[in-house]
Chains A and B, each alone.
Chain A
Amino acid sequence: MARYLLRRFLQLVVVTFIISVLIFLLVHLLPGNPADVILGSSDTPHNRAILDAQLGLNKPLIQQYGTWLTALFHGNFGQSYLNHESVTHIIATGYPIDLELIVISQVIAFAVAIPLALVTSRRPNRAVDNVATTATFGMLALPPFVIAPIMVAVFAVGLHWFPATGYVPLTQNPGTNLHDMILPSLAITAGSIAVYYRLFRSDLISTLQEDFVTMARSKGLSPRWIMWRHAFRPSSFSLLAAAGVNIGALIAGTFIVEYLFAINGLGFELVTAVQQRDYLVVQGITLVVAVAYVVLQFIIDFIFTIVDPRVTRE
């Protein structure tokens, strides 16, 4: 297993390096001089001199990359050209929001999807299964930008249970933070519930038809024991893989929800920066998101080695 993980880690390093090169080139692949694009109507000699110094645009490309990489290792991602805020600060304030949204929404999704799949897979195509399947199908069809306004209208404007917008950091007030995050988390969790439930249910149904399960039944083991000890683990591979992809997509992928609830996670900051051509912010956030995605896949690979040790075999 150690060898497998080491190989995966080395792959991670190589992929991260390639990503860093591609992201660095992002600015340089723009048509014309990046300074033209960044400065726009503020293109005065004074501003251009500052920008050239800031970006090192007058140096060879390889040297610029080296300078950028060195700065990254010192935690310096540059500063937003629009509001001059440190990109490191933007990332530092944005990532906890994404992390919290992901954790809460995924905890809810697993907490709903797994028990529901365990129940319905034992008696497929019965009333409970049909209701659950139809409901999750509906959830899959309702994107967050539809769910969010409905929830706001009911729970914020109508019942005043939750705020319509806004966010207080966890470190500032945990209670208020959780209160603020409930609606945004619920808005993105519906799709995850549907995907996890449907995958896990179908894998469970399939596993429960395997010979080793029939053998277990013939030995007189209880259905609950069979489900937990024999069916659960082999049925969770697809769920695990889907969770890896889904959580990866949610890193900076919750823009719509962040926009609607006016909370400045990485997704909101990234899309705003793209719209405003704030390339240093785009560069910084994209790098962090890409690295986070790669690390997440490494973690998923690691979990796979525990769930199914066969994956480590050459």
Chain B
Amino acid sequence: MAESVAGPGRARGKDSKGEAVTSTNGFNRRTFLTRGAAAGGVVVLGAAGLSACSSSSSSPSTTAGSTGTKPSSGSGTPVRGGSLTVGTIAEIDGFFPATNHWDTNGFLYANTVYDPLMAVAADGTIKGYLAQSMTSNATYDVWTMTLRPGIKFSDGSDLTSAVVKANFTVLADSALAGKALAQVASVATPDDMTLVYTLTGPNPTFPSGLTTQVGYVVGEAMIQKAASNYAGTLVPVGTGPFVYSEWQPNDHFTATRNPNYWRGGLPYLDQITFKPIPDTTQREATLRSGGVDMIESVDPNTITNFEGSGGSGFQLVDTRTGVIGQPTFSFIMLNNLLPPTNDLGIRQALAKGMDQAEVQKVLGGPPAKPATGVFLPDSPYYSDTHYPTYDPAGATSLVKAYKARHGTPSINLMTIADPLAIKEVQAVQQMWEQVGFQVSITEVEQATIIDDFVLGNFHAVTSYQFGEVNPDLNYVWWSTTTISPIGQIGLNFTRMNDPLLEKAMLTGRHTTDESTRVTAYQTVNERLVKNLNYLWIEQYLFSEVASQRVQGFDHWTFPDGTPGYGFDEGIFVPTQTWLAQ
């Protein structure tokens, strides 16, 4: 039976071509890119999913430069040919979804040489991409996927259900990605084009998990090679619009047009090259001097720099508006197992002792929406959480109470070695010391901070995460099932152990009733604030700046013409990008 579930504000049922429209689950995608973003060990396991936010617009914000820069969304007739060069923030560690850690850059590379099984449409619905359809039984615990016929990998092999299952098997064996697939009890392949996923329990939103890292399909030859030899992760074999040409890590990755791409007439570009330029100022200067055609950024100052007269001749796209679902937030994580942050009173003191507005000023850039939980007020899942406001007197009182029992609380505040992040923690350090804490700062490198997250080696640490179109994609980060002792791998980084939160998340996952889901995720939001393992700061902004000749970089469509989610938290799809003459 072909059932589908819609989030608020979107239609149920099938699309215009009779393809099943479904919903969500899975994993977070752009997880913990820490501010400053070097690629290194970012554990990113997927994202995208169900439409969760009826008030979100379907396209991202495109800002015109002062000289009348047009939005890039493919205005005009696409022109075939040309070579696009993109300045990226950092390098990736490989192309194999099962073992490599994809951040925003990882997904840029993946969208170049691979296709996902499912993808997010501009209206927030989940539609098949490599999959022609995906339907569930009445209880949402058995999902049947039919693949599109006639699709070939870059090595000439066919996309079949056996290959997709082989991908699933290596992903399920993966130390981290496997957690996202733990709800799948078995996968059957009744014929060459059909897969049947049997889940451990009902999940109406399961397909959205296949829009994430675990939904990108690589060829059988690559699986064989990558599973036995790390060198096998270096050369992708995919069905994507471009094929691997050359990769010199930290210098450039070049892919050329796939002449046998299954979507006839696409891509438009002959070649695409990604050049990591880690320094934001230099990346911007390279764009301005014509060294690259477009750049990505997670520095809010990029938005300021390219708005108004500074953006003359350039197109700016950013995530201040147009985010589907919940945006990425910046916050400080507090460890639930290590003293003194294992004490709720201390976490309350830290929350009350941090002036959120002042921290936002330190972070600079354009005004970002302040966060008081994991949903913004325009989300249906938002509820007034009564998140603690700045109250230094209250914080001081709580610290004194703790001090009487255990002595002066000493907090180590960790961040990555990045100027902006360091400014942020220095401001927070000053605030916390004023209310009676002893605060030391530790700067660590991007690659190692991920291990500290996973192993729980922190008191307090800056991070950003949780931008998803479906809140269920964040399940693993807060679940009681992903808690591990300090020093062991656990995806519940804070080690927050809340059965009520777990129950609400599972209710949100399993229910088919929208009002029940809304209530469940409102409870999730409230529990997160009650536990105070996250001190919320603000929405985290992604941006992309392109020269005038780059067209369609925030615009792509499904094979049936349905518009896709163009600029998903810093990630674009180059399939329909083209260069104006």
Contacts and interface: CB of A to CB of B under 8 A. Distances in A.
Given A83-B91, A160-B289, A163-B289, A41 B450 contact: yes
Interface in A25-50: 40-44, 46-47, 50
A164 B286 contact: yes
Contacts of A80: 249
A149 B280 CA distance: 12
Interface in A144-199: 149, 152-153, 156-157, 160, 163-167
Contacts of A202: none
A281 to B, nearest CB: 11
B289 A164 contact: yes
Contact of A262 (B99, B174, B276, B446): B276
A264 B417 CA distance: 20
Given A40-B450, A43-B489, A276-B445, A268 B250 contact: yes
A157 B288 contact: yes
B163 interface: no
Contacts of B249: 80, 83, 85
Contacts of B447: 82, 275-277
Contacts of A165: 87, 275, 277, 282-283, 285-286, 291
A46 B282 CA distance: 40
Given A163-B291, A275-B446, A259 B91 contact: no
A42 B178 CA distance: 12
B362 interface: no
A157 B283 CA distance: 11
Contacts of B279: 259-260, 262
Contacts of A254: none
A267 B285 CA distance: 22
B234 interface: yes
Interface string B433-455: 00000000000011110110011
A166 B291 contact: yes
A79 interface: yes
B94 interface: yes
Nearest to A149: B281
B278 interface: yes
Interface string A61-100: 0000000000000000001101111000000010000000
A94 to B, nearest CB: 10
Contacts of B175: 41-44, 47
A156 B282 CA distance: 10
A261 interface: yes
A84 B40 contact: no
Contacts of B230: 50, 79, 84
B234 A262 contact: no
Interface in A225-269: 259-262, 264, 268-269
Contacts of B450: 40-41
B488 to A, nearest CB: 10
Contacts of B417: 275
A272 interface: yes
A160 B41 contact: no
B448 A156 contact: no
A272 B233 CA distance: 20
B456 to A, nearest CB: 11
Interface of B: 38, 40-41, 43, 87, 91-94, 99, 173-176, 230-231, 233-234, 248-251, 275-279, 281-283, 285-286, 288-291, 417, 445-448, 450-451, 454-455, 489
Contacts of B291: 156, 163-166
A262 B417 CA distance: 18
B495 to A, nearest CB: 15
Contacts of A277: 445, 447-448
A149 B291 CA distance: 15
B225 to A, nearest CB: 12
A263 to B, nearest CB: 8
B94 A156 contact: no
A79 to B, nearest CB: 7
Nearest to B448: A277
A166 B286 CA distance: 9
Given A44-B175, A166-B291, A84 B43 contact: no
A82 B275 contact: no
Nearest to A90: B249
B93 A82 contact: yes
Instruction: Please provide the 8 A-B residue pairs with the shortest distance between their CB atoms, ordered closest to farther.
Output: A40-B451, A276-B447, A275-B445, A84-B230, A164-B285, A156-B289, A164-B286, A41-B454
Contacts of A262: 275-279, 282, 286
Given A84-B233, A260-B282, A262-B279, 6 more contacts: A79-B231, A85-B249, A149-B282, A156-B286, A165-B286, A166-B291
Nearest to A44: B175
A157 B312 CA distance: 13
Contact of B285 (A84, A157, A259, A275): A157
Contacts of A275: 38, 40, 417, 445-448
B83 to A, nearest CB: 14
A179 B278 CA distance: 22
Given A84-B230, A164-B291, A152 B277 contact: no
6 contacts: A80-B249, A83-B249, A84-B231, A84-B234, A156-B289, A262-B278
Contacts of B38: 272, 275-276
Contacts of A149: 281-282, 285
A152 B280 CA distance: 13
A269 B230 CA distance: 20
A40 B286 contact: no
B282 A83 contact: no
Contact of B289 (A41, A85, A157, A259): A157
B276 to A, nearest CB: 7
Contacts of A85: 234, 249
Contacts of B282: 149, 152, 164-165, 260-262
A152 B99 CA distance: 38
Contacts of B290: 160
A27 B281 CA distance: 35
Contacts of B92: 83
A164 to B, nearest CB: 4
Nearest to B453: A41
A306 B568 CA distance: 66
A160 to B, nearest CB: 6
Nearest to B285: A164
